C-alpha cells in the first residue's frame, strides 16, 4: 500500500482566503500557528495534511487554485494541492452540515464547555436541534476519518488536532487498525462537572472516542489531569496513554517580523500613540474566554486606588474580531466597546485618554506592540496554552513584566517569572498591574531575561518532535 507515512488532520489549513477590495482572492497564514510549527519538520517525512474548507471563499479558492486533483475519496469531495513537500488535501464538505458541526457543536457547545464559559442558568440550550447538530459533527468527523484511511500508508502515524475532530479516532481505528493514531487538544480539557453540561450519551461518546486513540496530548498537566478525571468518573475506566507537550513560539518567524521595516514603522507609531506614557498591553482575539472585560475593570480599579498612576499610563488593547457569525461574539464585542467608552469618559483628561482600543487583525502590528509593553496583561478565564504569553517576552525590548492568569496552560511553565492572577479577582489584577509598573529596573531586567531564556529552550518544533516521539513508541 502506498500513501503518506504521516497524516495530519486539522479543521483549518495553513492558509485562509478572503477577497480584497478589488474582489481578488488573497491568502493569509491562518491563526493558530500550526502551519509555521509543522513547516520545517514536515519536509523530512512524506506527509498528507487533511483539512476542511472553512468558508465559502476557502471552498472557491481551493477549487480554483492550481489543483492536481478534484477527487471523490470514498464519498467525500476533496481538492489536493501541494504545500512545500507536503500534500495538502482540503475536504469540500456539505456547507450546511459543516456549519452545524463547526458553529453549533465545536465553537458554541464544545468550546464553551472546555473553557467554562456557559452561563448555566441559560446556556447550554441542549434540545432536539442540538441532537441534529451533534449528528452533523459526528458525520464530519467520519468524513475526515474516511479520508485519512484513504491517504495513510500501512502502519502510518496519524496526528488528529483539536476539539473539532474528537470523534475521528473511533471511526479511523475501525477502518484502519494498523495505524498509530494520536490526538492533541489545543484547548483546555474540562472537569467532569463541566463535561456534565453535555447530555450523558454525548459526553460518553466523546470520551470513548478519545479512549480509542493510542495517546491523547495536552498543553499542560492540569488539562491532562482533567481528562483523566473525566475517564475515571464518567467512563469509569482507567485513562489511556496521555502526554503533555506545550507548544512554543516560532522564534525565527518572530525575529524576522521584528526586523521588518513594516514592524519598525508600526513600533514608532505605537510609541507615538503611547505619548510618553507607560504602556500596559493586551493582544487578543475578541473572545469571551480571554476575560477582556475584567482586564479593563482591573485597570480602572488601579486608576481609582493609585491616583499617582493617572495620566502616566495607557492601556493599549490590540484586539481582532472572530466568529462574528455567532451572537455571543457580536454582543461580546459590543460590551467591550461600551465598557471602554464608559471608562474613557470617566477618566480622560485634556491630554490623556486611559484606554486605546485598536480592533484590527494585523499580526505585524501586534508584534510591534509586544516590543513596546511595560506590562503585558494575559488574564484568560481558561486558555489551553496562550502563545502571546510566550511570544511577548521573546520580542519585548523594554524589560516588560507579564501578568498571567493561573488558568492558562502557559502558567505551568512560566509561573516563576510572572505576576500570578486569579482571573476572576479584579482587585488582585489591579494590584498586579500596579506591581508590574512599580517593579524596579534591576528586577525587571532579571525577570525578562529569565523568561526569555526559559521560553527559548522550547521553541515550536519541540512540540512537534514530542508528538512524533509519542507516535513512535
**Which stretches of the chain bind its own copies, using CB under 8 A?**
116-122, 124-128, 130-131, 191, 193-194, 196-200, 288, 291, 293, 297, 301, 304-305, 332, 381, 422, 424-428, 430
Contacts of 197 (CB under 8 A, 6+ apart): 113, 118, 120, 124, 126
Q: Return the sign of the alpha-carbon dihedral for residues 93, 99, 104, 108.
A: positive
Of 305 and 453, the one with the shorter C-beta distance to its own copies is 305
CA distances 288 to 17, 118, 139, 162, 285, Å, are: 25, 10, 28, 19, 9
Q: Return the sign of the alpha-carbon dihedral for residues 134, 135, 141, 144.
A: negative
Query: Shortest gap between Cβ of 387 and its own copies (angstroms)?
Result: 22
Query: Shortest gap between Cβ of 310 and its own copies (angstroms)?
Result: 16
Of 331 and 453, the one with the shorter C-beta distance to its own copies is 331
Of 63 and 406, the one with the shorter C-beta distance to its own copies is 406
Label the pairing between strands 86-92 and 401-405.
unpaired
Distance (Å, whole) CA 160 – CA 460:
18
In this structure, what are the phi and psi dihedrals at residue 245, rounded to the nearest 5 degrees? -145, 85
Query: Shortest gap between Cβ of 225 and its own copies (angstroms)?
Result: 11
Of 82 and 324, the one with the shorter C-beta distance to its own copies is 324
Query: Shortest gap between Cβ of 427 and its own copies (angstroms)?
Result: 6
Of 214 and 294, the one with the shorter C-beta distance to its own copies is 294
Query: Shortest gap between Cβ of 118 and its own copies (angstroms)?
Result: 8
Query: For residue 141, what is the enclosing H or E element?
Result: helix 128-151
In this structure, what are the phi and psi dihedrals at residue 391, rounded to the nearest 5 degrees? -75, -35
Query: Shortest gap between Cβ of 96 and its own copies (angstroms)?
Result: 21
Of 112 and 213, the one with the shorter C-beta distance to its own copies is 112
Of 55 and 116, the one with the shorter C-beta distance to its own copies is 116
**Greatest extent of the chain over all pairs of C-alpha atoms, in Å:** 73
In 153-291, which residue ranges form alpha helices assigned H by DSSP? 168-175, 192-195, 200-211, 221-230, 251-259, 261-274
Of 191 and 322, the one with the shorter C-beta distance to its own copies is 191
Distance (Å, whole) CA 241 – CA 218:
12
Of 115 and 452, the one with the shorter C-beta distance to its own copies is 115
Of 305 and 465, the one with the shorter C-beta distance to its own copies is 305
Query: Shortest gap between Cβ of 316 and its own copies (angstroms)?
Result: 22
Task: Name residue, grid cell 500513501.
Answer: 3
Query: Shortest gap between Cβ of 289 and its own copies (angstroms)?
Result: 8
CB 371 within 8 A of CB 267: yes
Query: Shortest gap between Cβ of 237 and its own copies (angstroms)?
Result: 20
Of 175 and 234, the one with the shorter C-beta distance to its own copies is 234
- Long-range interactions of 261-270: CB distance < 8 A, separation 24+: 262/364, 263/364, 263/367, 263/368, 263/371, 264/368, 266/364, 266/365, 266/368, 266/369, 267/368, 267/371, 267/372, 269/368, 270/316, 270/365, 270/368, 270/369, 270/372
Query: Shortest gap between Cβ of 125 and its own copies (angstroms)?
Result: 7
Query: Shortest gap between Cβ of 264 and its own copies (angstroms)?
Result: 37
Distance (Å, whole) CA 101 – CA 83:
27
Rg over alpha carbons for the chain, rounded to the nearest Å, is 23
Provide the terminal-to-terminal Cα distance of the chain, rounded to the nearest Å: 22
The candidate with the shortest Cα–Cα distance to 166, out of 114, 125, 221, 89, is 114
Of 52 and 202, the one with the shorter C-beta distance to its own copies is 202
CA distances 34 to 12, 116, 366, Å, are: 9, 24, 18
Query: Shortest gap between Cβ of 300 and its own copies (angstroms)?
Result: 9
Amino acid at each position: 500500500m502506498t500513501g503518506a507515512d504521516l497524516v495530519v488532520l486539522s479543521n483549518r489549513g495553513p492558509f485562509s482566503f478572503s477577497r480584497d477590495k478589488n474582489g481578488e482572492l488573497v491568502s493569509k497564514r491562518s491563526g493558530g500557528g500550526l502551519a509555521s510549527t509543522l513547516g520545517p519538520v514536515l519536509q523530512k517525512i512524506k506527509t498528507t495534511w487533511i483539512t476542511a474548507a472553512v468558508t465559502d471563499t476557502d471552498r472557491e479558492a481551493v477549487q480554483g487554485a492550481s489543483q492536481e486533483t478534484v477527487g471523490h475519496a470514498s464519498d467525500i469531495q476533496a481538492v489536493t494541492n501541494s504545500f512545500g513537500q507536503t500534500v495538502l488535501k482540503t475536504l469540500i464538505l456539505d456547507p450546511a452540515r459543516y456549519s452545524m458541526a463547526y458553529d453549533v457543536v465545536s465553537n458554541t457547545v464544545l468550546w464553551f464547555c472546555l473553557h467554562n464559559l456557559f452561563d448555566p442558568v441559560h446556556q447550554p440550550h441542549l434540545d432536539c436541534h442540538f441532537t441534529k447538530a451533534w449528528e452533523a459533527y459526528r458525520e464530519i468527523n467520519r468524513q475526515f476519518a474516511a479520508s485519512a484511511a484513504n491517504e495513510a500508508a500501512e502502519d502510518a502515524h496519524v496526528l488528529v488536532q483539536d476539539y473539532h475532530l474528537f470523534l475521528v479516532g473511533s471511526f479511523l481505528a475501525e477502518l484502519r487498525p494498523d495505524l498509530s493514531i494520536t490526538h492533541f487538544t489545543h484547548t483546555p480539557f474540562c472537569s467532569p462537572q463541566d463535561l456534565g453540561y453535555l447530555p450523558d450519551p454525548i459526553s460518553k461518546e466523546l470520551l470513548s472516542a478519545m479512549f480509542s486513540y493510542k495517546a491523547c496530548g495536552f498543553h499542560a498537566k492540569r488539562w491532562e489531569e482533567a481528562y483523566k478525571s473525566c475517564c475515571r468518573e464518567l467512563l469509569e475506566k482507567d485513562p489511556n496513554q496521555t502526554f503533555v507537550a506545550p507548544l512554543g513560539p516560532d522564534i525565527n518567524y518572530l525575529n524576522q517580523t521584528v526586523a521588518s521595516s513594516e514592524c519598525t514603522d508600526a513600533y514608532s507609531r505605537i510609541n507615538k500613540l503611547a505619548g510618553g506614557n507607560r504602556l500596559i498591553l493586551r493582544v487578543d482575539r475578541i473572545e469571551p474566554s480571554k476575560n477582556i472585560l475584567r482586564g479593563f475593570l482591573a485597570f480602572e480599579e488601579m486608576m481609582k486606588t493609585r491616583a499617582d498612576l493617572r495620566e502616566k499610563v495607557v492601556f493599549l488593547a490590540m484586539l481582532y474580531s472572530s466568529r462574528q457569525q455567532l451572537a455571543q461574539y457580536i454582543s461580546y464585542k459590543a460590551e467591550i466597546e461600551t465598557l471602554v467608552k464608559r471608562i474613557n469618559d470617566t477618566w480622560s483628561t485634556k491630554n490623556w485618554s486611559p484606554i486605546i482600543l485598536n480592533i484590527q487583525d494585523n499580526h505585524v502590528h501586534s508584534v510591534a506592540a509586544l516590543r513596546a509593553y511595560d506590562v503585558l496583561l494575559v488574564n484568560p478565564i481558561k486558555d489551553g496554552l496562550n502563545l502571546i504569553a510566550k511570544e511577548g517576552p521573546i520580542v519585548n525590548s523594554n524589560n516588560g513584566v507579564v501578568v498571567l492568569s493561573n488558568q492558562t496552560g502557559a502558567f505551568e511553565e512560566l509561573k516563576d517569572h510572572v505576576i500570578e492572577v486569579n482571573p476572576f479577582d479584579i482587585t488582585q489584577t489591579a494590584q498586579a498591574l500596579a506591581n508590574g509598573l512599580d517593579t524596579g529596573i534591576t528586577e525587571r531586567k532579571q525577570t525578562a531575561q529569565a523568561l526569555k531564556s526559559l521560553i527559548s529552550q522550547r521553541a515550536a518544533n519541540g512540540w512537534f518532535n514530542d508528538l512524533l516521539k509519542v507516535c513512535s513508541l
